[in-house]
Amino acid sequence: MDLEKAYDKIYRYAYFRVKNTAVAEDITQETFLRFFAKNGTFHEYDMKYLYTIARNLCIDEYRRVKPEELPEEGSEAEAAVDFPEDSIMVREALERLTDEDREILLLRYVNDEPVGTICKALGISRFTLYRKIKNAEEELKKNLKEDE
C-alpha cells in the first residue's frame, strides 16, 4: 500500500477524533515521523502500528486540550463539501453514538481495515471486536430508524 493512502486513512481517523483539520494533520505527520524513526520501510502490515501511534497521540491531545476548547471549525471547512441528502441523516445518527462505536465503524467500514489490524490497534481480542462491531451497527441502525 502506498503512503498516500495510509496518510489519508490516519488523517481521517485523527480528524474524527479531534474534529480539527490542523490538529488532525499534525497528529498524522507525527504518527509517520514516529513510525519512520524506528522503521526503514512501510507496508500494509504496518497500518496497525500507525493506528496505535495515532490513537495514543489523539488521547494525549484530548488530555491536553478539552475538545470544546479546540477552535470551532467544521462549519467553514465542511460547508465546502457537498453532502448527499441522506448522508446528513447518517451523520446525525453517528453523532449520537459513543466515541468508541464511531471509531470502530470508521476503522472497519470507511477505512476498510481487516479485523486483525483493528484488534491490534485497539488492543482487544477478535471476539470482543466482533461483538463491538455488531453493537455499533445495531446502535447506528436504531438511531437511523428513530430519525425516519
Partner 1 sequence: MKLSVDRITKQYKNKIAVDRISFDLTEGVTGLLGANGAGKTTLMRMMSGILTPTSGEISADGIPVQAENYRALLGYLPQDFGYYPEFTAKEFLEYFAALKGIERKRAKEKTKELLELVGLSDVAGKKIKTYSGGMKQRVGIAQALLNDPKILILDEPTAGLDPKERVRFRSLIEELGKDSIVLLSTHIVSDIEHIADRIIMMKDGALVWQGRQSDVEGDLEEFYLKRYE
Partner 2 sequence: MMDRELKNRLADSFHAPEPEKKESFIKNLRPREIGIPEMVLTQIPYIRLPIWLFSLLIVAVAIGGSILGMEDTEFQITILMPFTAAITVLETHRSKRSGMSELEMATRFSLRSVIFARLLILGIVSGIVLAIASPVIAASFGRSTVHTAIRILIPYLITMIISLIIERSPLGRTHGYASFAVAGLSLSVTAWAYNCAPLITAGYEEFVSVWGLPTVIILLALTITEQWRTVKTVEAFA
* Interface map 68-107 toward partner 2 (x if CB under 8 A): ---------xx-xx-xx-xxx-xx--x----------xx-
Q: Does 4 bind partner 2 (CB under 8 A)?
A: yes
Task: Return the percent helix, strand and coil in the chain, to nearest 5.
Answer: 80, 0, 20
Q: Which stretch binds partner 2 (CB under 8 A): 33-41, 45-53, 58-66, 123-131?
A: 33-41
Q: Which of 111, 120, 3, 100 minimizes the C-alpha distance to 59?
A: 100
DSSP H helical segments within 19-125, as ranges? 21-38, 47-64, 75-79, 85-95, 99-105, 115-122
Neighbours of 120 (CB within 10 A): 16
Q: Does 23 bind partner 2 (CB under 8 A)?
A: no
Q: Does 62 bind partner 2 (CB under 8 A)?
A: no
With CB under 8 A as the contact rule, the residue among 3, 8, 22, 45 that binds partner 1 is 45
With CB under 8 A as the contact rule, the residue among 8, 72, 100, 146 that binds partner 2 is 8
Residue 43: contacted member of partner 2, partner 1, none (CB under 5 to 8 Å, by partner type): partner 1
